[in-house]
Chains A and B, each alone.
Chain A
Amino acid sequence: MAEQGIFPTNWMETWTEMQRKSMTAWMDALGQAWTGGGSLPTGDVGIRMWKEGLDRWQKLLPPYLSAGMPGQDIMRGLMSSQENYIRFAEMFFKGFSQLREMQTPGSNWKEALDRTIEQLKGLFTAPMGSKALGEGMMGYFGQSMEAWSRLASTALQLPENPLQGVLGPNLLAGGKAAREQLERIVVMPPVGPNPDVQKKWKEWALLALKLQDAMEVYMTHVGKVGPAALDKLKDRLLKMAEKGEKVETLKDLFALWVEAGDGAFADMTNTKEYRDANANMVHALMRLKIQGQVLMDDYMESVNLPSRRELNTTHKRVIELKRRFRDLEGRLGTVAKVDVAADLNRLRAEIEALKQEVAELKGNKNAAAAAAVKKPQGKGE
């Protein structure tokens, strides 16, 4: 059997073919409009075509983009950057519909540029839960939000959830009716046989509402990045015009856009208002997760299974034991470092010296005794 690469060729070929067809169809539509004097395709046609191809392909081969597959992060990155690029190209074609006029020497292109930039800002506006063309184009910010939303949605999936109908992942997508219903539930006093349990669920629902509020504020800040990036792009273009510089490819223009977008994002993250909004959103999510964990732990314990609480206690004890072990090992090491042989030799030497001393003392004593014995003898002599 031939060695399989990390990107299996069969699905690559399928994707390539589909992608080629959708791109070709889109470019044909654009080409006809530009060169034949027809009208430009309306709506995000390129993205729609591209997405349709992608959807068909994903339905055919779902396992290849699932988490854990080799190369899936790269494929995702490649897909989203393509989407981003196509969105950008589409924004460009839409925004600069008067491109030929603007490029004509002597035209009042600055006024047209102002107008175009202001129009393009509209592409970044969409109600919460839906996706504006511009928002998709600033994809990172959407991805960042998705990462947090993924964490949030796991906090909303609980067993035996009495609020399942109104409090699920859709709440974060901005379901107005669900929100109103939850608000009514939250203000009701806990009644019935298990008020403590109800209280915990209500607390959880309240935290979910707070998260939704915090996410909305956060998204308001993020929504400012696209328009700010357009202003930066405009400034950059004006500076280029002053220097007589030109952009001749879409890719170079995209590079300017990336620079403007990153700059606008950096400016925003440097503001205290954004940082506070970000912190509030993260904290609201964390509080929701903690309360969700309390409910999950209650459930696990009720069915006699290990809970996170229990595991935490166990893990903490294991690590504390290990620390004590390390401490004892350290002390043992200090004891082991004492040179017992040297100590013994020293003690032996001391004993020998003492023996010598004793012997000498004994010798002196014997000599004295002998002298004493001799004296009477002498006396007698």
Chain B
Amino acid sequence: MTFPIQITPENAIKEMAEFNKKISQGFKTLGEVKDTKPGVTEKEAVYQEDKLVLYRFKPKVEKPHPIPVMIVYALVNRPYMADLQDDRSTVKGLLEAGLDVYLIDWGYPDPADRFLTMDDYINGYIKNCAEEICRRHSLENINVLGICQGGTLTTCFCALNPHLVRNLVLMVTPIDFHTAQDRLHTWVESLDVELMINALGNLPGSVLNQTFQGMQPLQLGFKKYLDMVDLMDDAAKLENFLRMEHWINDSPDQPGETVKQFVRDMYQRNALIKGEVQVGSRKVDLANLTMPILNVYASLDHLVPPSGSTILGKLAKSRDYSEMSFKGGHIGIYVSARAQKEVPAGIAKWVKEKG
């Protein structure tokens, strides 16, 4: 057996020199970057409440499907991940497939929002948006698409207000928070979240970012920037990278009372699958989910393991439950080239079939 490190000192020095040269050249490209503003598809604000804005995207077909889709994104990041850039946009894919798409933008909560609860989000904001869309289209119910944590909130909303939901689509949505592959729940099990919120008011986005980065600290903290150096001679690739970085670092603070209940009920007690989540005066019973459901998950998701999503099939009482598996990760499901071809088209086909 020979020693596996076969790096020669001469080559190592050459490699460092090459790295240095790449950075020098790359910084010139970086200096030429003009705009990496995400959120590209044309839209108009149709409803506002506090910091929330409900947008309607401009349809891309003459006669879109008559039942609109309302996207409910997570609170922990900004929703433009679903519309990052022209060639990486779930929203654009849904529009091109003939759907009429609305999206809730939660805005950036500040200390005045500290006392907003899950009830305020679910039975207040989400319900008001759904009713607004129903009014605009003279409908009794609409299609709802929940993403990640937004999917969990959507699941609660649908279970509490099934009359407002025609069909439910979930993407990378955690339902069971205590699967063996989920590390987040073990990290927070010893934390006194009430004490944290009493001290901090809202949970700073930077703390959340550090937590997510902790899943792969060196990979996400350093290696990806070294890999970035290899992209720095290609302006288009660099812009893609920067747009994604912009999104990763754009983490709103989390309203204290909401995050307290979410961490306690979901991550610490795993109460959703037990029917023990209290929202307002009612408990969330997943058996109330009787509408058709499409559950889309990413088979390589390290944040929301597939089994944490697919348990919904056993708990919901829908007679029309189906799943779509995407071979990719938690973010790749929105932004990878393959996702653009498979995911929006698959969702739109299912929605149209359901009528």
Chain A contact residues, CB within 8 Å of chain B: 3, 5-9, 12-13, 15-16, 19-20, 23-24, 27, 30-31, 34-35, 71, 73-74, 77-78, 80-82, 84-85, 89, 92-93, 96, 99-100, 102-103, 105, 107, 109, 113, 138-141, 143-144, 147, 151, 237, 240-242, 244-251, 253-255, 257-259, 261-262, 265-266, 269-270, 275-276, 278-279, 282-283, 285-287, 289-290, 293, 308, 311-312, 315-316, 318-319, 322-323, 326
Contacts and interface: CB of A to CB of B under 8 A. Distances in A.
Nearest to B189: A275
A140 B32 contact: no
B40 to A, nearest CB: 17
Interface in B1-56: 1-13, 15-17, 19-20, 23-24, 27-28, 30-36
10 contacts: A80-B221, A248-B6, A250-B7, A251-B19, A251-B226, A254-B223, A276-B190, A283-B195, A286-B195, A293-B199
Contact of B216 (A12, A84, A262): A262
A7 B190 contact: no
Given A286-B199, A311-B111, A5 B223 contact: no
Contacts of A289: 199-200
A266 B23 contact: no
Contact of A315 (B23, B28, B112): B112
**Residue from A9, A19, A144, A258 having most chain B Cβ neighbours under 10 A:** A258
B5 A74 contact: no
A19 B19 CA distance: 12
B92 interface: no
Contacts of B35: 6
Contact of B225 (A81, A105, A246, A322): A81
Contacts of B315: none
Given A254-B223, A261-B217, A16 B27 contact: yes
Given A31-B13, A103-B5, A293-B199, 18 more contacts: A6-B36, A6-B242, A16-B23, A19-B20, A23-B20, A74-B245, A81-B223, A99-B5, A100-B9, A140-B217, A147-B207, A241-B3, A248-B11, A261-B218, A279-B192, A287-B199, A289-B200, A322-B124
A290 B6 CA distance: 55
CB-CB nearest 7 A-B residue pairs: A81-B225, A140-B217, A9-B31, A279-B190, A34-B9, A286-B199, A109-B3
A77 B32 CA distance: 19
A145 to B, nearest CB: 10
A81 B115 contact: no
B60 interface: no
Interface residues of B, number: 72
A151 B203 CA distance: 12
A35 B9 contact: yes
A100 B10 CA distance: 11
Contacts of A249: 7, 11, 15
Contact of A81 (B12, B17, B226): B226
A102 B5 CA distance: 9
B31 A282 contact: no
A100 B228 CA distance: 31
B191 interface: yes
Contact of A92 (B12, B28, B192, B221): B12
A81 B229 CA distance: 10
Contact of A247 (B7, B27, B213): B7
Given A6-B34, A12-B30, A286 B228 contact: no
B4 A3 contact: no
Interface in B92-115: 111-115
A275 to B, nearest CB: 5
Nearest to A289: B199
Given A78-B228, A99-B9, A241-B3, A5 B32 contact: yes
Contacts of B36: 6
Nearest to A26: B16
Given A27-B16, A73-B249, A269 B214 contact: yes
Nearest to B5: A247
A5 B6 CA distance: 42
A16 B113 CA distance: 43
A19 B111 contact: no
A224 B88 CA distance: 41
A89 B12 contact: yes
B31 A7 contact: yes
Nearest to A266: B183
Nearest to B223: A258
A85 B226 contact: yes
A211 to B, nearest CB: 12
Contacts of B336: none
Nearest to A147: B210
Given A24-B20, A241-B2, A249-B15, A315 B115 contact: yes
B1 A283 contact: no
Interface string B209-239: 0100110111101111110100000000000
Given A13-B31, A138-B218, A283-B195, A237 B5 contact: yes
A63 to B, nearest CB: 16
B194 to A, nearest CB: 10
Contacts of A12: 27-28, 30-31
A74 to B, nearest CB: 5
Nearest to A246: B6
A139 B123 CA distance: 43
A276 B112 CA distance: 32
Nearest to A318: B112
Contacts of A322: 120, 124
A361 to B, nearest CB: 46
A19 B23 contact: yes
A141 B217 CA distance: 8
B322 interface: no
Contact of A237 (B4, B17, B111, B201): B4
Nearest to B21: A20
A237 B1 CA distance: 11
A27 B19 CA distance: 12
Nearest to B249: A73
A277 B351 CA distance: 48
Contacts of B116: 319
A315 B221 CA distance: 37
A12 B238 CA distance: 16
A113 B23 CA distance: 32
A319 B120 contact: yes
A290 B15 CA distance: 51
A139 B220 CA distance: 11
Contacts of B3: 102-103, 107, 109, 113, 241
